[in-house]
Structure 1
Amino acid sequence: MIECWVHKLWYSPPMMAFRRLLKRIYLPGFGGVDLYQVLKFFVTGLLEGYLTTRAASISFSFFLAIFPFTIFLLTIIAYIPIDNFQSELIALLESVVPPKTWVAIDKTLTDIIQIRRGGLLSLGFLLALFFANNGVNAIITSFNATFHSIEIRTFFSQLRASIVLTVVLSIMFITSVTLVIFSETIIDRLEVLDIVSRFESQLLGFAQLIVVLALIFFSITLLYYYGPANRKEHRFFSPGAILTTFLLWLTSYGFASYVTDFASYNQIYGSIGTLIIILLWIYINAIVLLVGFELNASIVHARKTSSSEIELQQVKVSRKGDEKSVENSK
């Protein structure tokens, strides 16, 4: 019954007119393929490409990297040469963390932040790098297991690509976070000192957002270009990277609005609510990352299909021409 209604809807005059419209639309970056062909493969890839399973693998790998990365960040705080920075940070954390949780972590956290430990710093860095590399490796594996094609890289080829991407993406991530934190502080300070007006500070804040989005876009571009095994089929700047950057900004904004209700969420789940929020955020971003790549893979698939159809038509035309030549010679 449902299939019958779907069939009627699909071949209804409005839907047929809509499909004809999509077949006349050619967007930049689609390689000369109409929008209908790309959307056809794109929707198929989303529905049948085990998107959520692949995203779960990526999110779990990156979730494991959070803990050693947190240890690394807390350990490196002791080496920051700013007067009273450590004590002020501890006071800030105490005001944010729930009282019962703070009683449990107070001594350990204070000990890590105030006392320099080179061994723990090195261990935290190596573990964070190892688990982050596992996360990037999971991304590369997911890219090469898309619905449209399954590519297999050699172990050392994938290891080399994942290590290089991990280092580059880590540098860009740290740069983005540093830019967000320090630029907001500097802009607020300039406004307090009346060096810049309110309008100028808003312009600086907008410029900061543009730079951060550009860093995110370039990071995604690197992943989409160097991650797949068939790199030659993908373009460096791609529609998928643009879509992912926009969706990441959109989901981050929406997720931030959702987290404003975190107080009630925390009352239900307790301190573990923070971990649930972080894991959910990583999972959503992993899905968005795969959605953008599926768009690029759909464009490649549609371009291959279109080229094959053109070659087949040329062969048919050539055969007809040969048959006519034979008939004329007779």
Structure 2
Amino acid sequence: MLEDIYQKFIHWKPIFLIISFSKQLVLPGFDGIPFFDVSLFFFKGIQKGYITQRASSLSFNFFLALFPAIIFFFTLIPYLPISNFQTTLFEILQTFLPTNAFETVKSTISDIITNKRSGLLSVGFIMTLYFATNGVNAIIDAFNQTYHTVESRSWIRQRLISIFLVVILSVLLIISISLITFGSFILKYLVNHSVLKSQLTIYLLLAGKWIVLLAMLFFSVSFLYYFAPAKKKTFRFISAGSTLATFLILIITLGFNYYVANFSKYNALYGSIGTLIIILMWIYFNAIILLIGFELNASISNAKKKGKEIKELKIQ
């Protein structure tokens, strides 16, 4: 009965035309594999890949790494030779944090970012490195599950790969934060001192800043996809999965910001803990997106492999 309904559905003219078109459609980054062939593996992988369970594991590990990272960066601030940086940071925190939450942590943050504590800095660095590499290890395990691959690398090699990826991602994150934090101040300085007079130039510089930030995000995802899994790479560093993940992360972040700003009642219901709930949800959704993008790369690889096997059988 269900088989008859399915056959009638796929032979219904509009659906038949869509399927026929998808069998001829080859998207950029698909290595010459038709969209239809890739989608068969992709949706099967999404259905049977326990995406939400793996995303829960990833989000927990990265949420756990968040607090040591905050402690480390805050204890690093007194050592930065930048005038009025503490004041600027307070203004940024006051903008993002709920009023009650900011007033609660204001004195503690002020003490941390104004007084040098080498001991706390060292402990914060070690804890950040440990929990961050644990988070990357969780990504490695999640990617290996996509290929149903058992980790063949030694514990030391896997940890070194995790440290390498943490360093790369940290550098890209620092560049991104620097652009966000100092880009507007530098642009304002140039405008106030009449260095920049053309509105078109100002708009182009603003657009360029966001293009660079988008590129940082794209390369962060690409590094994870290319170096994290144990299986030998069958896709390029710049891949369709990286492009999809970058686009979806951008959409989900913009959508999440709009939702929190206009509709969310978490802070009203839960107080300052509402901020933590929102952060955890954002991490969780982005973990799902990371896995979806990698699933696309794996689907292209599997479809390509199957196509080669069919060609070899035909030759024989």
**TM, length-normalised to structure 1:** 0.87
Aligned: 1:21 with 2:21: yes
Deviation string, structure 1 residues 137-170 (Cα, Å, up to 9, x no partner): 1111111101x54342332332221111111111
Q: Give me the whole-angstrom Cα distance separating, in 2, the residues matched to 1:137 and 1:199.
A: 45
Give the deviation of 1:90 after TM superposition: 4.6
Aligned: 1:285 with 2:294: no
Give the deviation of 1:110 after TM superposition: 2.5
Identity rate, percent? 45
The AA in structure 2 aligned to 1:65 is A
Cα 1:94–1:126, aligned 2, differ >3 Å: closer, same or farther? same
The AA in structure 2 aligned to 1:203 is L
Q: Give me the whole-angstrom Cα distance separating, in 2, the residues matched to 1:83 and 1:32.
A: 54
Q: Aligned runs of 1:203-242 on 2, under 5 Å?
A: 203-242=204-243
Query: Where does residue 50 of structure 1 map in the other structure?
Result: 50
Cα 1:276–1:262, aligned 2, differ >3 Å: closer, same or farther? farther
Give the deviation of 1:232 after TM superposition: 3.1
Give the deviation of 1:186 after TM superposition: 1.0
**What SS is found at the alignment partner of 2:203?**
helix
**What SS is found at the alignment partner of 2:233?**
helix
Q: Give me the whole-angstrom Cα distance separating, in 1, the residues matched to 2:100 and 2:148.
A: 51
**What SS is found at the alignment partner of 1:195?**
coil
Aligned: 1:162 with 2:162: yes
Answer with 248-257 or 266-275: which moved more. 248-257
What is the alpha-carbon root mean square deviation over aligned residues?
2.3
Q: Aligned runs of 1:64-143 on 2, under 5 Å?
A: 64-86=64-86, 89-90=89-90, 93=93, 97-98=97-98, 100-102=100-102, 104-143=104-143
Give the deviation of 1:3 after TM superposition: 6.8
Query: Where does residue 274 of structure 1 map in the other structure?
Result: 275
The answer to whether the Cα contact below 8 Å between 2:98 and 2:267 also exists between their aligned partners in 1 is no
Query: Where does residue 258 of structure 2 map in the other structure?
Result: 257
The answer to whether the Cα contact below 8 Å between 2:76 and 2:121 also exists between their aligned partners in 1 is yes
Cα 1:263–1:238, aligned 2, differ >3 Å: closer, same or farther? closer
Give the deviation of 1:89 after TM superposition: 4.5
Give the deviation of 1:123 after TM superposition: 0.8
The answer to whether the Cα contact below 8 Å between 1:71 and 1:124 also exists between their aligned partners in 2 is yes
Give the deviation of 1:174 after TM superposition: 1.2
Give the deviation of 1:12 after TM superposition: 2.0
Cα 1:266–1:34, aligned 2, differ >3 Å: closer, same or farther? same
**What SS is found at the alignment partner of 2:79?**
coil
Aligned: 1:153 with 2:152: yes
Give the deviation of 1:121 after TM superposition: 0.8
The answer to whether the Cα contact below 8 Å between 1:191 and 1:198 also exists between their aligned partners in 2 is no
Structure of higher CA gyration radius: 1
Give the deviation of 1:131 after TM superposition: 0.9
The AA in structure 2 aligned to 1:189 is Y
Give the deviation of 1:225 after TM superposition: 1.1
Query: Where does residue 181 of structure 2 map in the other structure?
Result: 181
Cα 1:5–1:130, aligned 2, differ >3 Å: closer, same or farther? same
Answer with 72-81 or 113-122: which moved more. 72-81
Aligned: 1:202 with 2:203: yes
Cα 1:282–1:101, aligned 2, differ >3 Å: closer, same or farther? closer
**TM, length-normalised to structure 2:** 0.91
Give the deviation of 1:261 after TM superposition: 3.0
